[in-house]
Chains A and B, each alone.
Chain A
Amino acid sequence: DIVLTQSPASLAVSLGQRATISCRASESVDSYGNSFMHWYQQKPGQPPKLLIYRASNLESGIPARFSGSGSRTDFTLTINPVEADDVATYYCQQSNEDPFTFGSGTKLEIK
């Protein structure tokens, strides 16, 4: 299975500043010119919500404050500027290979 290691486990950022979350895969999640890494936001009591698909594509309806980058084994989710509504846990997920796997999550708080 592809193991996804997220860092940091928790992050405190001031309003209006930048938050950066990393996800490292144990092997490449690239195929056919695509990076099959995705990012989700989960708030308490809610299901995960898709933010970024295939590494850098913004899902419809998601604010442009969210962006993703990376390829092969190293990926980053950036939130800039951070707003109060962004308090949540963020997960990466790969779909390049069965079984699909998720990172352990990064909890974002406001400083």
Chain B
Amino acid sequence: DVQLQESGPGLVKPSQSLSLTCTVTGYSITSDYAWNWIRQFPGNKLEWMGYISYSGSTSYNPSLKSRISITRDTSKNQFFLQLNSVTTEDTATYYCARWGGNYEHAMDYWGQGTSVTVSS
């Protein structure tokens, strides 16, 4: 079965970079699909942040474009989120998820989420 698991620091200081890892098991991230980061703010608003496709191409939410980078390590079947110059507004639960552009066209598998607080 496909499983995704987020990991990373739960606390980041303002102006620093937020770095998270999503480890995928049960499916190769180079086979197909696009691999996404989505966050949920306190108050429950969901925001799509971006993805890296199976081929390595990326797409980012323009609202984050200058601060975000999504990369991958295919040998470990992991993909990563880096968000620079964070502020308290970046406090959220961060999810990784799989998107099937050639299939359901929806996010069919999600990680459990990791909570990140931005605070000094």
Chain A residues near B (Cβ < 8 Å) = 34, 36, 38, 40, 46-50, 53-54, 57, 59, 89, 91, 93, 95, 98-102, 104-105
Residues of A within 8 Å of B105, CB to CB, are 34, 36, 38, 53-54, 95
Query: Smallest CB–CB gap between A36 and chain B, Å?
Result: 5
B110 contacts A48, CB within 8 Å? yes
Chain B residues lying within 8 Å of A95, measured Cβ to Cβ, are 99, 101, 105-106
Q: What sequence of 0s and 1s flags, for each residue 29-61 of chain B, a beta carbon within 8 Å of any chain A beta carbon?
A: 000000000000000111110000000000101
Contact A50–B48 (Cβ < 8 Å):
no
A contact residues around B110 at 8 Å (CB):
47-49
Chain B interface SS verdict (over half): mixed
The tally of CB-CB contacts under 8 A between chains A and B is 58
| A–B Cβ pairs within 8 angstroms, 13 of them | A36-B105, A40-B107, A46-B112, A47-B97, A47-B111, A47-B112, A48-B46, A57-B104, A59-B104, A89-B44, A95-B99, A99-B63, A102-B48
Measured between C-beta atoms, what is the minimum distance from B81 to chain A in Å? 15
For the complex, give the distance between the alpha carbons of A89 and B111 in Å: 18
Q: How far is the CB of A23 from chain B (nearest CB, A)?
A: 13
